[in-house]
Structure 1
């Protein structure tokens, strides 16, 4: 079915709210104290980041063995095989792609409650299958249960606002994380774990900053294109 047959309506007020929410999330992300209000969402980013590595590995012929998530929002995916370039890049582009998919889904007739429950169920199944540390398992299942409960108990209007928050947070968090990644790429320091950009820098002999900037541009393009398609197709 063509995309324009799926898209229904996006009104101008919704787009304005979307822009305002985007600005608010960006500001909160950069305020140390207020940023903790977004801790559950930022923790969700880590799950999506690590799962994106795993999904990319599976899609390119590799194996996704397991992953861990820690309270400081760091994580590590254990991968065997697959296209290493695609697998490494997927960590930051995965959240942007998922956010873009949710933006498109928001412009369809599919109920937000169903989408929230679907996301929660998917997260729960992936956690049970692949998470291998206690904090990651507990946090992942709590996040999954919250999404399922929100979809089940919330009325359409609150569920719509929660979905709006979630769909904009994912691509914005990808962009914000890539800003931090660019800073790390410039300020090289001794760290136990290499960043994804540093891994690709070793593979391609291009500076880590180049890859961080490349992913940042792609994440912004994904968000702009999906918002434009969702709005213009339903206009």
Structure 2
């Protein structure tokens, strides 16, 4: 996760146009359904069984991920999902680099060392924290969408665009390509099972994993292992403070993002399982 060696490079805009075309094609339908869902209810009463089950699943995911993350050998069971959230982390660096005048040369993913984004230019004060905070924000949004099947369908479409961009930026190594293709395959498969009902639990798991990844990884790098090559240490060298301080600050923000995603999900999606399935049948149906 130590980011951003400076490399020169250029890239074509065709993947961005393709991704934009996908968003435009489904945009009107997505917006309409989102407005209806958000207008349905905005209080924090956990009334439906679907909400209670979702909260229970989130709690179970937190416990399971926390255990698996720290158990030797068993922790490798998280490898596919860890690779995904590493991709989110690097995607955060890449997007903010482009938004602040930089250019992305490549993204590489590694299960041992994490990931690295090679870029030229950009504003380090924004691009450095954008990895952890970006993956946490994506995680919070996925948790929010995981409360509802239709919202999970929308999230999976956006994820597909993110994966397309990551694959485009990614170094053409087998690990990056295989990880992204497996992720896309899992999402596609879930669309065709019981009107995409399992999709929301996959989206939830990826969301929880992405939210917790920042906390656990910062803890590993800065507290337990004392690694000095993290985003936080580079940020501290450039802008002052200590790497531990910035790591704790970013971890707190990550937890707040996750809490906000849960609260927003409760407020926006009170539908029962039956209501969600009926809504799913009318939104890009697969059965």
What interval of TM-score do these two structures reach, taking the shorter chain for normalisation? 0.7 to 0.9
2:182 corresponds to: 143
Distance in 2 (alpha carbons) for counterparts of 1:71 and 1:13:
32
2:16 corresponds to: none
1:5 corresponds to: 39
1:222 corresponds to: 257
Q: How large is the RMSD of aligned CA atoms in angstroms?
A: 2.7
Deviations 1:139-180 (A, max 9, x none): 344334323432443333322322221221110122111211
Contact 1:117–1:151, Cα closer than 8 Å, also in 2: no
Alignment of 1:51-66 (within 5 A): 51-66=91-106
Structure 1 window deviating more from structure 2 (73-82 vs 151-160): it is: 151-160
Identify if the C-alpha distance between structure 1 residues 64 and 13 changes in structure 2 by more than 3 Å, giving closer, same or farther.
Answer: same
TM superposition outliers: structure 1 runs of 4+ over 4 Å: 1-4, 6-10
- SS of match in other structure, 1:76: strand
Structure 1 window deviating more from structure 2 (4-13 vs 142-151): it is: 4-13
Answering whether residue 238 of structure 2 is matched by residue 203 of structure 1, we say yes
How many angstroms does 1:202 deviate by?
Answer: 0.7
Structure 1 window deviating more from structure 2 (100-109 vs 218-227): it is: 100-109
TM-score by length of 1: 0.84
Contact 2:103–2:121, Cα closer than 8 Å, also in 1: yes
Query: Which residue of 223, 226, 235 maps to 1:187?
Result: 226
How many angstroms does 1:116 deviate by?
Answer: 2.9
1:129 corresponds to: 168
Distance in 1 (alpha carbons) for counterparts of 2:235 and 2:250:
12
Distance in 1 (alpha carbons) for counterparts of 2:227 and 2:235:
15
Distance in 2 (alpha carbons) for counterparts of 1:215 and 1:2:
34
Query: Which residue of 128, 149, 156 maps to 1:88?
Result: 128
Deviations 1:64-101 (A, max 9, x none): 22111224252210122222111000111111100111
Answering whether residue 207 of structure 2 is matched by residue 173 of structure 1, we say no
Identify if the C-alpha distance between structure 1 residues 187 and 71 changes in structure 2 by more than 3 Å, giving closer, same or farther.
Answer: closer
Contact 2:145–2:203, Cα closer than 8 Å, also in 1: no
Is the radius of gyration larger for structure 1 or structure 2?
A: 2
Alignment of 1:20-169 (within 5 A): 20-108=60-148, 110=150, 112-113=152-153, 115-123=155-163, 125-155=164-194, 156-169=196-209
TM-score by length of 2: 0.70
> Structure 1: which 5+ runs fail to align?
none
- SS of match in other structure, 2:150: coil
Structure 1 window deviating more from structure 2 (106-115 vs 18-27): it is: 106-115
2:277 corresponds to: none
Identify if the C-alpha distance between structure 1 residues 15 and 179 changes in structure 2 by more than 3 Å, giving closer, same or farther.
Answer: same
Contact 2:106–2:169, Cα closer than 8 Å, also in 1: yes
Identify if the C-alpha distance between structure 1 residues 130 and 202 changes in structure 2 by more than 3 Å, giving closer, same or farther.
Answer: same
Distance in 2 (alpha carbons) for counterparts of 1:43 and 1:200:
23
Count how many residue pairs are aligned between Structure 1 and Structure 2: 229
